[in-house]
Structure 1
Amino acid sequence: MRVVVTGASGNVGSALLRELGSRGHDLVGVARRAPDLPPGEHGSVRWHAADVAEDVLDPVLADCDALVHLAWMFQPTHDPDTTWRANAVGTRSVLQAAARTKVPVVVCASSVAAYSPAEDDRPVDEDWPTDGPSPAAYCREKAYVERLLDAFEAQRPDVRVVRIRPAFVFQRSAASEQRRIFGAPALRPWMLDRRLLPVVPVPRGLRLQAVHAGDLARAYAEALERPVHGAFNVAADDLLRRDELGHLLEARTVEVPSRLVRGGIEAAWRVRLAGAPGDLFDALLRIPVMATSRAKAELGWQPQHSAADALDAMITGAREGAGTGLPPLAPDAPVP
């Protein structure tokens, strides 16, 4: 199968290339910066440098068997016009190119952050509303992409469309990138040393689902190879709360009022000491817990890593400056 992957050099894209390459697929990776890789590192991938919001992708998509659209820009959170152009306009452009070139299968990255707020922790399935949990630009753009996919499916009923809605996605090789994206200058690798974290404040009501990028990549691969359509929630089986986070960080935890944490995050973001604004923290507390029974039943998918394993891989990797030769995943300098 000839598969075109946009956003192929990122966290999820890199894992998907490894998975699809192991299954013998013919791969074309689309990224704003085509990597210059040594032999053997994603060596079977043909790279195409393109900005999905501006460049014409028809020549790349011509005669492909499937498209996986992963291209997404989280930063700069202080410039929502830029992220809107990359994420909303970019997705629309990619779908239009797929329609013009008659791509038969389109698999698109959505997110738990597309879902509307939940009032409790009862798991929700894929028919939960997707209007976003807060006004944060990231959530607004994910919800808009859901509407774009609704329109695309209505206009092109001959195309098999799949939406993957993962929880937070972690892996060791993307840890430095995620530290730069979410931590900004305020969070340096040495600050994650467990010896410096004897007490960790945890916002009241915080609970997290997560998934390892390798597990998510297998879900994408199965969605490509099986005759399925529609949305799939993808997350590990465990739910991370205060106790689990304390065990993971080997630290004592203290519950802190969420309003206090929100104010601190917003203040730090305004002076560019944090990578995410307060309204994204609001979303974190409001997103629903996702049920993953459909992915397990129809994709034959089972997570091989727990959420705690995935988060630990990221924390350990960030502390050690882990990364790869792909431009977005460039490593940080290791901690002395």
Structure 2
Amino acid sequence: MGGIFEWIDESLDKKENFVLATIMKKSGSAPREEGTKMIIKKDFSIDGTIGGGLMEAMTIKLSAKVFHTKKCAIKNFALANKDAELLGMVCGGSVSVLLEYVDCDDEPMIELYKKAVELKKSSIDFVLITKISEGQKKVTGLDKWICTETGFYGLENEEIQKVIKEIRENFNRIKIREMAIEKEKYLIEPFFNYETIYIIGAGHVAQKIADITKNLGFHVVVMDDRKEFANKERFNTADEVKVVPSFDNLADYVKINHNSYIIIVTRGHAYDKDALAQILRTDAKYIGMIGSRNKREYVYNSLLEEGFTYKDLERVYCPIGLHIYADTPEEIAVSIAAELIKVKRGPENEKG
């Protein structure tokens, strides 16, 4: 399955108009992060997801009005705890969704998204800029720009140069946000080729792993089903901390690809097995699982009974980390970090 820009490119090539939904802002716990996008077609089928459930259904319903008026819309969902449960959230919060009508005959729009696809394929970091306003008649290709560290694509004017200047001053630290320049508002969306660490489990070892891997330049995401463990107070260096209902269906909460490094450090054999079974179905660059050799045998045997092969299990680094006689959480984190560096910098397919 392709990424969002490939889906956009495909729809434009097919001359299919669509509505593009983007999560602009969120607070509290939600299945999808800010910047997540979904294509809604005229028949109300979708490519991608902004989290499923009631919120997604309401967004799809609202797209009918956007198709009719061709005006962009911003929908704010304010959720009580009971409502949040229907959306797959652990607790209440709010989500703001932008809906844009995308016209397949808009040549500047086509050129901009073609450039985005090209940059993604070339692994070049870029920022997508969209001029937005409540009730705007339409977002066209002339209301969008792409900025790299050295390049610029789109219709240049004095106002957008102010936006570009601010972005470039903090390029490597840009996060999705709204930016106000004079009377106009812009949605700023970074598309960076992060190498992401997903730490599944939020115990003491996970804390030390998050700290050291962030210092190594990874984008760090921590996941656990216990909000008393998975929170920004305990993981203040992590880029994202996610509270999930369970360790089932991890793909509903994270996007794992060939730039992903997975560290499984849950609190039990069964959780580790369930998480590992899901991760083995991805093309993650690194899969590590903490535990003794006895634990490894238990988990591996269970997975073999479920139909996984020895070749599948050869992808897993377990016991995790380089063998340096590590004992404390800090030492274990160092050994894991060293193994990550070896995988990242060493010859491809080298293991052991």
**What TM-score results when the alignment is normalised by the length of structure 2?**
0.24
The structure that is strand-richer by fraction is: 2
The structure carrying a bigger helix percent of its residues is 1
Structure number with bigger Rg: 2
TM-score by length of 1: 0.25
